């Protein structure tokens, strides 16, 4: 067996720009060194079984995606057009816009027909002999006290405005759910590739450790530890597949796609910088939040309800006009106008409680509005802090943790070469690097999630 004299750093299996590339190249070198050591120690033994076709090199390359990645912007446009919750909220808003014209319209007029007989119950008896017998036709109209119809229309208009804000709230919430799910799925797909590659590498490590154990150069503990680490990765891969299936189902639910439709491939996560300083993002945030706007519309509505409750103390009217005709050859026609007043005598017993109820609801709506404003400030500050913290952590990972962990692995590798370090410590250092890789991608997903929630809290896209 020919042993290559190159150092582990000279095996360029992974680009150095890829997280973990340096340590994977180093690990490949270790595998070859171990294989050479096993072959040299026992030349009479058959050489170790070579990995299957495409072994190390195939493990290093991520599997091609099942489909081309779908941009997040495409899915956002689709969810706004197809999501049932968004569509239902829009229809509720459309329905609410039809109410103001209904409640602000006068009641329908009433047509009245009248016939009076004199001397006999027979119809038209006395029509030609008495001026008190007549046939009449008229119309009557109920007239609410001035201002009541206008107030009812304005109250319905405020309900329609609140429905519009609710529709916008639902849309923002669904878009946020879509983005959070998309970012999580992208993280899972990214880490799944890392786990699959490292599981293949650990499988090769376990084989070589077994070869060394068989020739007396290694210990059974090395073999067992390598197998244990590989089994842990297989467990993580299985759990990632389970979560990925759940996230795919969630995306299809939000997009109203059939359950059997093809799964989605996501774009790779990249860090998105805040488009403006935190103080600029905080400025005017409550005014741009649809939940706050909806609470404000409720305050306006309740204020109008109080005004209407005061108006209900005043009476409503009924105007009637009647034309009466008797024998035109002998008698003249009658023209009658009646104005009726509906006295609110019995209604007064309920008007005071209704006014007190309206005043209490107005005060409650003001407190709800204040709570919505405070909640908006809290949510926005909280998500800004989360985004800024994640951004700092990402910088630490890129500029500190990952390079330092790689350097530590190189130190363990150098010690292992001269027999000053054991195989278990080498695997532990490898596991630390894998853990930091996964934490990096998780932090990146959390950063993008925080930005998505900032968009929802502010009620619109970031400036």
Chain segment 301-320, per-residue pLDDT in tens:
999 999 999 988 888 999 99
Domains by residue range for the chain, with CATH = 8-106+144-312+347-458 (1.20.1600.10)
Chain segment 320-332, per-residue pLDDT in tens:
999 988 888 888 8
- Look up residue 219 and give its DSSP letter: -
Chain segment 402-423, per-residue pLDDT in tens:
888 878 877 876 666 555 667 7
With a cut of 50, say whether residue 105 has pLDDT above it.
Answer: yes
424 and 389 in contact (C-beta within 8 Å)? Answer: no
pLDDT on residue 320 = 94
Regarding predicted confidence, which is higher, 384 or 420? 384
- Look up residue 122 and give its DSSP letter: S
103 and 158 in contact (C-beta within 8 Å)? Answer: no
Alpha-carbon distance of 76 to 457, in angstroms, equals: 17
247 and 184 in contact (C-beta within 8 Å)? Answer: yes
Give the helix/strand (H/E) hosting 135: strand 134-143
Of all residues in the chain, the percent with pLDDT exceeding 70 is 80
- With cut-offs at 50, 70 and 90, classify the pLDDT of residue 212: low
- With cut-offs at 50, 70 and 90, classify the pLDDT of residue 198: confident
26 and 413 in contact (C-beta within 8 Å)? Answer: yes
Q: Which of 87-96, 201-210, 218-227, 352-361 has the highest mean pLDDT?
A: 87-96
178 and 79 in contact (C-beta within 8 Å)? Answer: yes
Listed residue (434, 447, 430, 435) closest to 395, CA to CA: 447
With a cut of 70, say whether residue 222 has pLDDT above it.
Answer: yes
What are 452's two structure tokens?
């998505």
Chain segment 436-451, per-residue pLDDT in tens:
888 999 999 999 999 9
Regarding predicted confidence, which is higher, 50 or 371? 371
What are 119's two structure tokens?
């001397």
182 and 266 in contact (C-beta within 8 Å)? Answer: yes
Task: Output the CA torsion 94→95→97→102 (10° steps).
Answer: 160
With a cut of 80, say whether residue 179 has pLDDT above it.
Answer: yes
């Amino acid at each position: 067996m020919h042993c290559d004299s190159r150092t582990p750093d000279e095996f360029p299996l992974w680009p150095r720009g890829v997280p973990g590339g340096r340590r994977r190249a180093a690990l490949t070198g270790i595998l070859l060194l171990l294989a050479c050591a096993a072959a040299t120690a026992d030349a009479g033994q058959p050489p170790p079984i070579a990995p299957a076709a495409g072994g190390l090199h195939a493990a290093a390359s991520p599997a091609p995606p099942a489909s081309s990645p779908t941009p997040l912007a495409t899915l956002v446009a689709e969810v706004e057009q197809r999501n049932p919750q968004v569509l239902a909220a829009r229809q509720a808003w459309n329905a609410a816009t039809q109410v103001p014209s209904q409640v602000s319209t006068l009641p329908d007029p009433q047509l009245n027909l009248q016939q009076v007989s004199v001397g006999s119950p027979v119809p038209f008896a006395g029509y030609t002999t008495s001026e008190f017998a007549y046939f009449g036709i008229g119309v009557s109209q109920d007239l609410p006290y001035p201002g009541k119809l206008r107030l009812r229309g304005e109250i319905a208009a405020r309900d329609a405005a609140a429905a519009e804000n609710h529709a916008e709230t639902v849309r923002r919430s669904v878009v946020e759910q879509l983005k959070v799910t998309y970012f999580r799925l992208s993280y899972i797909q990214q880490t799944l590739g890392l786990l699959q590659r490292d599981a293949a590498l650990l499988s090769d490590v376990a084989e070589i450790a077994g070869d060394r154990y068989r020739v007396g150069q290694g210990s059974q503990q090395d073999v067992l530890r390598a197998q244990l680490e590989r089994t842990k990765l297989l467990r993580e891969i299985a759990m990632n597949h389970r979560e990925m299936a759940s996230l795919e189902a969630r995306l299809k639910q939000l997009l109203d796609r059939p359950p059997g439709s093809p799964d989605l491939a996501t774009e790779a996560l990249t860090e998105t910088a805040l488009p403006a300083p935190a103080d600029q993002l905080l400025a005017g945030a409550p005014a741009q939040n649809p939940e706050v706007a909806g609470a404000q519309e409720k305050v306006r509505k309740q204020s109008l309800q109080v005004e209407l409750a005061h108006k209900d103390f005043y009476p409503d009217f009924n105007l009637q006009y009647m034309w009466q005709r008797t024998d035109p050859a002998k008698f003249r026609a009658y023209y009658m106008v009646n104005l009726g007043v509906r006295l609110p005598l019995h209604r007064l017993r309920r008007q005071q409680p209704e006014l007190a109820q309206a005043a209490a609801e107005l005060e409650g709506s003001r407190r709800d509005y204040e709570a919505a404003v405070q909640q908006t400030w809290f949510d926005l500050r909280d998500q800004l802090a989360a985004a800024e913290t994640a951004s700092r952590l990402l910088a630490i990972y890129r500029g500190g943790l990952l390079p330092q962990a790689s350097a530590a692995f190189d130190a363990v590798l150098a010690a292992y070469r001269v027999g000053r370090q054991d195989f278990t410590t080498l695997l532990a250092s490898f596991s630390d690097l894998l853990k930091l890789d996964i934490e990096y991608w998780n932090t990146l997903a959390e950063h993008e999630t925080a930005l998505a929630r900032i968009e929802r809290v502010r009620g619109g896209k970031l400036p």
